Amino acid sequence: MQPTAQNYLSSMPGATVASGLEEDKEMLIDGLKPLSGLVTAFNKKISEACRQNGTQSIIQLYKELPPGWMAITNTDFRNRKLEIVGLNFSLNSASPDARDASRQPDVEMIQLNRRIESGNIDPTKSYIFQCRENCLELKLDVVFGHSIHTASFSPTGKNLLIAGCDSLTDHSLRIWRQAEDGNWSENGRVEESRHISHQLNRSENTLLTCSQDGNVKVNKLNSDGCWEEAVVLAHPLKEGNPPVVAQFSPLQDKIMYYDHMSGTINILRERDDGRWVLQSQPEKISYPLQSGVMQPPFKTGDNFLLTCQTKIATIWDCGNEFFPVTAFAVQGCTDIEGIQLSDDERHGMIFTQANRVDFLDCGVNGNWATIGAVLHSDQAVQHGSTRVPNRICTASFNASGQYALTGDIARNFVVSGYDNNGAWVGKIVISGCDHAAFSPSGGKLLAHLGSGFFKLWDCSRIGGSLDVSQTIEHIGSDNVSHSPSENLLLSHGNKTDYVCIWGDDETGNLVEKAKICHPGGIGSAAFNAQEDSVLTRGSNDCTVKIHGLDSQGQWPPQLVIQRQDKINEARFSTSGRLAFTLNDDTTACILGCDDNGKWTQQAVTKPYGYFISGAHVNGLDNHFLTYGNKTDGEDNNKPGLVQLWSIGDDGKWADRELITLDYPVIKAEFSPEGDHLMIHCKNHPESLESKGSTALLWKIPDGPRQS
């Protein structure tokens, strides 16, 4: 017997039938089975008719539907595909099985696939994706004919910048801005023949772009909210030459750009009226054409700039005017190989071919002088099967500029800095060192000596001695990381079965606080922002653990996540009160911490046959997204997926939206305020050559979804 309208109406959630009883979801599923078979049969017939180009056959199929039924079709114009996706029926029709149903209202439609087309988009573009719940509002659909290089929000989230190309010689940077009413509109475009890089100032009213064909452009936001070209500087480049490098100064009142071909630096300055003008310079400013291994990339300065020629380094004043302050000639017949200025622009280094490093200092009166030097051995070292001259290969100042670290290919590191008399001297030599670096604050120096041995020095005191160090011994460990405050350390590695937490014993000694075991090696380990939790992931034990700091100073386990398959990634959110895992079984876990510091697993996403390649938590910790692509590479039907989870009023995570796309997803991310979602797709995955990219911008509704 054919399924009746009464059967389907009574099986719909929330529908009222003559008996007045609600049927449960199981009856809905059972009721849909014969309907699903009916549609499958008609789809098969329509497919055969399409292959035969039989229009009359398709018309006849519509006539064969039961009385009162009407097919709802979806036409894929690109693939010439016609498919029934739903059926409407009227209970007032003369269906033989609808004897008592004429008293009931019409039922709109039963959807056979809940991943329906979004109602918020232009129907001509609806083929790109399908939304299951239609809870998101599509704001933008941006397509480039060849590829999208970058797609990102500005720091405020009010601007969206997408750079790409429609062909290999047709590149553009397109800018959209969100108005007060929440709508987005394109308000600017920069077009070039080659790839474009860009930088937006902090006020987000000045845009600096550089193209690989040598053009530097400055665009200003006018009173109408549109971008206008203010300055265009053309520097034609020969094929294969590096592009021009242009940057705002840290205070953003200047733009400096470096032309690799001529080796010169030019300066744009913003006048009081807001116009950018090319500054006249008393003489040509040269910069090294070749960057040595210790030579950092060109960067701008607010007050000073350090440049060099073959045997002379020059300090330039780039404050109110631009003129040479002083020049430093290297000793002997050796040439300069590199230069480096500290971030505070008060200290500098000059590297020579003789493995000598001269240190420069800017006094309180603004006068620069050479204050000291260190010398690395020039004895040849074994490199593979040959012996090569020793060379300095790495150099850095700490954050305060009071210490410097230089290293050579013979694995020797020299730490230098001020002594108690204000002179710059060599402090210590660390021999046989695999790697050494200052901590982010510059107050600590950590050296990896190999075989699981590390040394830690305190560099917080200016002029202090570095004779005293702390030793960390963790056999099999090849990684030690600082906590955010740098008061704690984590050591781990793939050749050890545990993570070790290190801290001070309140008498100045570095001691082991706790061990977290993962047989088979450690994939990753990290502190959260509050430093009261440690998240660890095993390389091979399919386990993630969270240990928390209790009132007794101990680190007991708070949560253990055990999966059947490998866990590929585990991270804390920015706030440190959420965490997530990405698992090889194509699921993700959301982990949360309550007000009492207890961690629990709060949700597990569903796989849907897609491999998850990335995930993000928004800044407010109330939305979580995953994105990825189908595990079956031969299945080209909706290969990309983005899943959005949100917290409801009850504090529980709920699966809010599922977006399936016609193209593989490269990335998906939240806007800085977390109220928008952007998806970047690559079109035509079956082609080895890129043939287009799509970026979609969605608005996330303010209200949470009810569980």
pLDDT single digits (tens) 561-588: 999 999 999 999 999 999 999 999 999 9
Does 283 score more than 80 pLDDT?
A: no
What confidence score (pLDDT) does residue 66 get? 55
Which tens digits make up the pLDDT trace of 204-225? 999 999 998 888 999 999 999 9
pTM: 0.78
Confidence band, pLDDT 50/70/90 cuts, at residue 3: very low
Q: How many CA atoms lie within 13 A of 587 on its CB side?
A: 14
**Cβ-contact 231, 190 below 8 angstroms:** no
Domain boundaries, the chain: 5-113
Q: What is the spatial order of strands in the sheet that 403-408 belongs to?
A: 392-397, 403-408, 413-418, 424-430
For the segment 153-166, the average pLDDT, to the nearest whole number, is 95
Residue 2, pLDDT score: 40
Asked whether residue 615 carries a pLDDT value surpassing 90, the answer given is yes
Distance, C-alpha 84 to centroid of its chain: 40
More confident call, 45 vs 389: 389
Scanning the structure block, which residue is given the tokens 């970026």?
695
Q: Could you read off the pLDDT of 327-344 as tens digits, one per residue? A: 888 777 688 888 899 999
Sign of the dihedral through C-alpha 107, 112, 118, 121: negative
10 Å Cβ neighbour count for 19?
8
Please determine, for residue 14, whether its predicted confidence score (pLDDT) is greater than 50.
no
As a whole-number percent, the residues of the chain with pLDDT over 90 amount to: 55
Residues 412, 374: contact at Cβ < 8 Å?
no
Query: What is the arithmetic mean of pLDDT over 305-318?
Result: 87
At 289 the pLDDT is 54
